[in-house]
Amino acid sequence: MFEKSAGHLMKALVVAGLAMGAAGVADAKEWRAWNIHVEGYPNTVAMDKFAELVKAKTNGSLEITNYHGGVLGNQPDAIEQVRIGALEVGNFNLGPMGTTIPETNVVSLPFIFKDLPHMHRVLGSEAGDVIKQGMMDKGLVPLAWYDSGARSFYNSKKAITQPSDVAGMKIRVMNNELFTGMVGALGGDGSPMAFSEVYQALKTGVVDGAENNWPSFESTGHFEVAGYYSLTQHLIIPECVCISKTAWDGLSDAEKKAVEEAAVESATLQQQLWAERSEQSKQKVIASGVKYNEIADKAAFQNAMQPVYAKYIETNPDQAALIEKMKAVQ
Ligand code: GTR
């Protein structure tokens, strides 16, 4: 008799356990994350770490599947998708975000940051809060900043040593008026184009050049079709681990904490990998025969950006004070 009821009890416990397990799976949230970069790229490795940490820290109540290599579409579209909640996560560069989130545009002003550490100090200041709030108001929750180094010009024609060298060149830029204005101020023709299309455009001569950091110049193979890399370092733009506000609002407080911790930890990893990959990519493209030149005095390039700033401040007078504060951050 005892044995029988013990058996029943066992059975009941097993059934209950299965039911709980089934409920657990059914309740688990499944998110999709957009990433433009290829396997092995610092952001890709760090986003995989992010997904792994989220799963572990939420005990499986939230699972993120990363879609690398831009397979979920181009960046401007993906930003919109995450904003409206059709996608839950994006590893975005703030450059193409400026068209819909004006507060993010301040980081896309040429030469606004002295270097990467300065960018981080500014993001940690009042300016960072303004940028984050602007993103939140438009449906994006930025949880951590990833590094993207400094962007420099490269092309298939000649070394750029002074602004006039850009004159007449057609240069691919990310989708944002600030970048077409930037190339225009150097006398060139800025051509917005999706990242995935740049290789072919360089190869066929649709554009003469583009601009990016060492790792992207290398990972995309652009260095095979654009043999001159000139270290103008005109843009230093942060990237984010951004969550759709709709998805974020559906998390419990414990889940929010877990996701935030995971994003910050993944950013620490990304920044380490970034520093390593920047050096490796630089060595790889130079070894392949790319002609690389430093720009001893960037003042001429910086001065040429005055009309870009003037126009920007004329259209966004409310941001003038913020820009001064950013420049003043030590
Ligand atoms: C890369 C950046 C990408 C994308 C790309 C581009 O450096 O990490 O998110 O913005 O540049 O030029 O489109």
Counting from 1 in the atom list of ligand 1, the atom nearest the Cα of 211 is: 12
For residue 247, the enclosing domain spans: 29-147+238-279
Query: 36 and 119 share a domain?
Result: yes
Residue 213 Cβ < 6 Å to ligand 1: yes
Task: Count up the domains in the chain and report the number.
Answer: 2
Q: What ranges make up the beta strands (E) of the chain? A: 29-34, 62-67, 89-93, 140-146, 151-155, 170-173, 189-192, 209-212, 228-235, 239-244, 291-294
pLDDT in tens, 167-202: 999 999 999 999 999 999 999 999 999 999 999 999
Query: 232 and 242 share a domain?
Result: no
- CA distance linking residue 158 with residue 144, whole number of Å: 38
Å from CA of 103 to ligand 1 middle = 19
pLDDT at 4 over 70: no
Q: Which of 34, 35, 36, 77 to mutate to test the pocket of ligand 1 (most atoms within 8 A of CB)?
A: 36
223 within a domain of the structure (yes/no): yes
The answer to whether the predicted template modeling score (pTM) of the entire model surpasses 0.75 is yes
pLDDT in tens, 100-138: 999 999 999 999 999 999 999 999 999 999 999 999 999
Query: 76 and 192 share a domain?
Result: no
Residue 35 Cβ < 6 Å to ligand 1: no
- CA distance linking residue 239 with residue 117, whole number of Å: 14
Neighbours of 77 (CB within 10 A): 15
DSSP letter for each residue of 258-297: HHHHHHHHHHHHHHHHHHHHHHHHHHHHHHTT-EEEE-S-
5 within a domain of the structure (yes/no): no
Query: 134 and 58 share a domain?
Result: yes
118 within a domain of the structure (yes/no): yes
123 within a domain of the structure (yes/no): yes
6 within a domain of the structure (yes/no): no
Residue whose CA is closest, atom 5 of ligand 1?
A: 195
Query: 254 and 308 share a domain?
Result: no
Query: 74 and 106 share a domain?
Result: yes
Query: 211 and 68 share a domain?
Result: no
24 within a domain of the structure (yes/no): no
19 within a domain of the structure (yes/no): no
Å from CA of 308 to ligand 1 middle = 21
Query: 75 and 206 share a domain?
Result: no
Residue 66 Cβ < 6 Å to ligand 1: no
Query: 41 and 100 share a domain?
Result: yes
Residue whose CA is closest, atom 9 of ligand 1?
A: 93
Question: Which residues lie closer than 8 Å to 315 by C-beta, 6 or more apart?
Answer: none
- CA distance linking residue 270 with residue 181, whole number of Å: 31
Query: 231 and 158 share a domain?
Result: yes
pLDDT in tens, 14-69: 444 444 444 454 689 999 999 999 999 999 999 999 999 999 999 999 999 999 99
Q: What is the DSSP letter of 1?
A: -
The burial class, CB within 10 Å (0-12 / 13-18 / 19+), for 16 is exposed
Query: 244 and 198 share a domain?
Result: no
CATH number of the domain to which 196 belongs: 3.40.190.170
- CA distance linking residue 298 with residue 36, whole number of Å: 30
Query: 215 and 184 share a domain?
Result: yes
Task: Please choose, from the candidates 174, 203, 201, 204, the residue with its C-alpha nearest in 3D space to the C-alpha of residue 190.
Answer: 174
Counting from 1 in the atom list of ligand 1, the atom nearest the Cα of 43 is: 8
Counting from 1 in the atom list of ligand 1, the atom nearest the Cα of 92 is: 9
Supply angle C-alpha 216, 237, 77, rounded to 5. Answer: 75
Residue 212 Cβ < 6 Å to ligand 1: yes
CA dihedral 314, 180, 177, 85 (to 10 degrees): -150
Name the amino acid, one letter, at 132.
K
SS3 per-residue string spanning 38-72: CCCCHHHHHHHHHHHHHHHHCCCCEEEEEECCCCC
Q: What is the DSSP letter of 249?
A: H
Q: Which of 216, 233, 242 to mutate to test the pocket of ligand 1 (most atoms within 8 A of CB)?
A: 216
